[in-house]
Structure 1
Amino acid sequence: MVAPNVLEDRTGDAMLDLVRWAGGLTIADIPEAVVDDTQRRLLDLVAAGLAGTQADGVPQLLRAVADWGGRPVASVIGCPERTSVPHAVLLNATISRALELDDVHEKALLHPTVATAPIALALAEQDRSIDGARLLTALVAAQEVMCRLGLAPEYHVAGPRHRPRGWSFTYQCGALGGALVAALLRGLDESRTLDALGNAYTALAGNQQAIKEAALAIQVQQGVTAQTAVQSADLAALGITGPHEVLEGEYGWLSYWHGGSYDRSVVVTELGERWESAGASVKPYPVCRITHNTVGATLAATAGVAPADVDRIVVHVNSQESWEEVVHPLERRRRPTSSMDAQFSLPFIVAIAAVRGTVTLADLTESAIRDPRVLALADRVEPVLDPGFEAAAGRVIPMPVTVDVHLRDGAVVSRRSAHPLGHPGNPMDWAAVEAKVWDCAAWGVTPADGAVVEELVAAVRGLASEPSPGRVAGLLARAKAVSA
């Protein structure tokens, strides 16, 4: 057995403040509204996982994990066979992220629940001493740390100081948040927890190139991040030390990756008083969250309007970041080459909303993206980079979006959306999230077991008093089979 690693307070790194706060947090310290929000977003991840069993790339990854082998102690969504914890979180995070249905913190530019919950559920399934209150406390702590890290660096989505963002907060902050939730549930002491975070930092990865090329790696990156996180904690538990000055050391994430341009107060002040994780949004549409305000404005502007009556649709794109991610190159974004490509193609998504009056998974299948009605209207969607929005600096996210629908009779219908559905300013309540669970359970070619889905919903809603929260992982394995 490795002897306890006695921590010398040799660092003033902000990560030490975060670890000490997280280690001392109890369920009683967390406001009821924050606990409720965390549980609701966990149920939302259940929905995403049920739908993700039908995603391309999942059967291939399952075959890889089967070839790799591993001690069968952890459940995989949609599969009767168990595998090791690192392989289970690789699969479960990938499955849950695969269809762009999981929650997102728009301003922090990351996905908090998918980076942490698959790890927490796998560890709780393995360790029966972990109860629901402890699991929720660890999730809240890790997601709060993730969101604060995502918010701290100076980054401009618009204005003259904007620079293209090739790296991804989702994966980088996710590796650190995932390592923290694993360390907390493994019961690591303060120093070992810092080792776990340091180990995760040494393996940090994640970038946006896969989005540009519509590669399956974009969803697998989420799983690789979760796998890295849990392995980093396991290595720390066995005495593999990691760097402790992860954020503000000479080559720390904030001081080096972000050139020292960050707000330290965002990271360490008002811990337990200001809850940044409460700013996360639930997604009603299975497309990039950047497009959701545009979807909302389009649906409002085209309500009761026949697609044949639309001459063109002008979308006032709200930032250079949005333009780079979901508009450029324009012709490809009007005619995406795959379902995944379509999820990041704003002109095509606008056309779906105008033609079909909604945006669902059924609208993004390989056959649906070739619908001539949608393609014809997509050719008449005209994105313009709005100079009024672009003059803004910093992270005004989500930025409002205006959509102008020009009709063939000369009339123009304009609608503006400031907070997309699912945002804390326009929230989806428990009933809406439950409805999403059932929609996702019904999606695809393999049927869901309705009784198991009902049990899943009840288990997540009662998680704070659940003695064995790891059973949620087992229920997810039984609820809906992975598509062959």
Structure 2
Amino acid sequence: MSDATAPDTLGAQLARFAVDAARDGVPDDVAASTRQRVLDVLGLCVASHRLETSAAIIDHVLDQGGHEQASIVGVPQRVTAAQAALANGVLAHSLDYDDTHLPSVLHPSASVVPAALAAAEHAGADGELTVRAVAVGLEVAVRLGMAGYDQELGNSVFFEHGQHATSITGAMGSAVAASILYGADENGILDALGLTASMASGIIEANRTGGTVKRLHCGLAAQAGVTAAQLVRRGFTGPPTVLEGRFGFFEAWLHGRFFPAAITEGLGKEWAVPGIFFKPYPANHFTHTSIDAGLALRARGLRAEDVASITIGAPTAVIRTIGAPLETKRAPQTGYQAQFSGPYAVVAGLLGGGGLGVGLDDFTDALAQEPRRRALMALVDVVPDERCDAIYPHQFPAVVTVTTTDGEVVVEEVLANRGGPERPLTDDELALKFRDNVAGRVSPDTAEDVRRDVLTLDASSDITSLMSRLTTFQATPVPAATTDKDLA
């Protein structure tokens, strides 16, 4: 940074927080939650190898060449740290199975964890510092996301502008995490934020009209963070007022409408990390309570053949994602489209599936087009619900009403998401999710070794030994691939 650090800027406060936490450590519950998120991301990276876009990003990265600095999950050949962060970030986000912070509605781990793992391998950092760096990066990403959350509006200003907060603030969190692992001081971390702000990006039009570009977002964010941290080491500098400046981050993205208290209040004392929601199901998070409702109705004895109609009451804001246009959501063509369909979600829950109730194998092209499911989805409406509106976006609730063929009305309300603080996943459930994600590519013994290594990561002397366990897959057949086609 060319000028002396401005001590009162938002970026400087985040930089001081990062240095303090890297030196002094993070609370035990934060460290434990962080280790679970590393495990979750590694499992997702393995599972995502079933996708065509995963093969594409890996081919692209390997084609770039360069020094062998860090590992891509499922690839024996090491690549540069920035390219490893890119590939693993794409893998981590591609199945829509990565964690979510509410009410900012962003997915922090899919960029921060890949960036930190790549930088840690490259820098030779130990596990303890890696856990601290990931925790700080997640906290920075979430707080910047919350600075764009308008309580009066009840939504993220980023999303109102068509911007993907996940990749925008995820890049900034990735930069802080990578900077810690490269040994940066406060000025260096502030400079990395200053550089990354010029690389952070992401728009969400693909959620509405199609395309697989969203899968790139966390990879590009992770790559930007690692690259910025490396460039600062070589002398590049950024503006100390990068966040709140007249031409800074919040002016550029949010037209100056932001809430700085979300960044500074309780910084270093109150952590958001343990409250980030794990995803129990591999689908858009808005659909999860509909899945839960379907599972609950099935447990109550409701049979598919007894259904005359189903109405999903949902927050108005989510209907454009999971319920509109309704004709399309009732008839997804691919497993990928089914991940964003409210009708498919409630039907999948009602019919039951794998994993934690509905798993990866329940979102295939064949199942999306299965006549029995299509017939049930044709009976589903998605409508606004006032109670759900009052709760959103702190939860993504659903009130599902079923009318049976004999005229009985059955209601199932799911007002809090599974995987969040009100309904947390147990350690056993998170372990089951990990095993389900790596099944068929990683042996049960290796999966257990990885889980043990991650959950004791603080005691590890390096990251390479962990990553090396996941660079070569076994030849056991895996479930049918999900075809990558545009989301309609």
State the TM-score, normalizing by the size of structure 2.
0.91
Q: How does 1:240-279 map to 2 (within 5 A)?
A: 240-279=236-275
CA distance in 1, matches of 2:227, 2:408: 59
CA distance in 2, matches of 1:160, 1:199: 28
> In the alignment, what sits opposite 1:136?
131
How many residue pairs end up in the alignment?
Answer: 473
What displacement does 1:28 show? 4.9
State percent identity of aligned pairs. Answer: 30
Tell me which of 295, 304, 307 is aligned to 2:304: 307
Q: Which runs of 5+ in 1 are unaligned?
A: none
The amino acid that maps onto 1:309 is D
> In the alignment, what sits opposite 1:371?
370
CA distance in 2, matches of 1:294, 1:252: 40
> In the alignment, what sits opposite 1:148?
143
> In the alignment, what sits opposite 1:228?
224
CA distance in 2, matches of 1:220, 1:161: 21
> In the alignment, what sits opposite 1:468?
462
The amino acid that maps onto 1:476 is L
**CA separation of 1:61 and 1:165: change in aligned 2, threshold 3 A:** same
1:477 aligns with 2:471: yes
1:96 aligns with 2:92: yes
**CA separation of 1:25 and 1:215: change in aligned 2, threshold 3 A:** same
**CA separation of 1:78 and 1:461: change in aligned 2, threshold 3 A:** same
Q: Confirm or deny: 8 A CA contact 2:102 2:393 kept in the other structure.
A: no
1:203 aligns with 2:199: yes
CA distance in 1, matches of 2:235, 2:15: 18
Post-superposition Cα deviations, 1:286-337, rounded to whole Å, max 9, x if no partner, equal 00111112211222123321101001111111132x1122221111111122
Q: Which runs of 5+ in 2 are unaligned?
A: 482-488
Bigger relative contact order (CA 8 A; separation at least 6): 1
> In the alignment, what sits opposite 2:162?
166
Secondary structure at the aligned position of 1:228 is classed as: helix
CA distance in 1, matches of 2:163, 2:151: 14
Secondary structure at the aligned position of 2:117 is classed as: helix
Tell me which of 125, 143, 166 is aligned to 2:121: 125
Q: Confirm or deny: 8 A CA contact 1:316 1:385 kept in the other structure.
A: yes
Q: Confirm or deny: 8 A CA contact 1:78 1:480 kept in the other structure.
A: no
1:400 aligns with 2:397: yes
> In the alignment, what sits opposite 1:420?
417
Secondary structure at the aligned position of 1:457 is classed as: helix
Secondary structure at the aligned position of 2:78 is classed as: coil
1:187 aligns with 2:186: no
Q: Confirm or deny: 8 A CA contact 1:200 1:229 kept in the other structure.
A: yes
Secondary structure at the aligned position of 1:202 is classed as: coil
Deviates more, 1:168-177 or 1:185-194: 185-194
CA distance in 1, matches of 2:257, 2:190: 23
Deviates more, 1:147-156 or 1:54-63: 147-156
What displacement does 1:360 show? 1.8
CA distance in 2, matches of 1:409, 1:159: 40
**CA separation of 1:97 and 1:160: change in aligned 2, threshold 3 A:** closer
Q: Confirm or deny: 8 A CA contact 1:452 1:479 kept in the other structure.
A: no
1:55 aligns with 2:51: yes
Q: Confirm or deny: 8 A CA contact 2:155 2:393 kept in the other structure.
A: no
Q: Confirm or deny: 8 A CA contact 1:355 1:373 kept in the other structure.
A: no
Q: Confirm or deny: 8 A CA contact 1:103 1:283 kept in the other structure.
A: yes
Tell me which of 59, 67, 71 is aligned to 1:71: 67
State the TM-score, normalizing by the size of structure 1.
0.92
1:332 aligns with 2:328: yes
**CA separation of 1:109 and 1:174: change in aligned 2, threshold 3 A:** same
Q: Confirm or deny: 8 A CA contact 1:27 1:136 kept in the other structure.
A: no
Q: Confirm or deny: 8 A CA contact 1:456 1:472 kept in the other structure.
A: yes
The amino acid that maps onto 2:447 is V
**CA separation of 1:472 and 1:7: change in aligned 2, threshold 3 A:** farther
The amino acid that maps onto 1:417 is V
**CA separation of 1:244 and 1:159: change in aligned 2, threshold 3 A:** closer
What displacement does 1:338 show? 2.2
Q: Confirm or deny: 8 A CA contact 2:5 2:240 kept in the other structure.
A: no
Q: Confirm or deny: 8 A CA contact 2:71 2:118 kept in the other structure.
A: yes
Structure 1 vs Structure 2 CA RMSD: 2.3
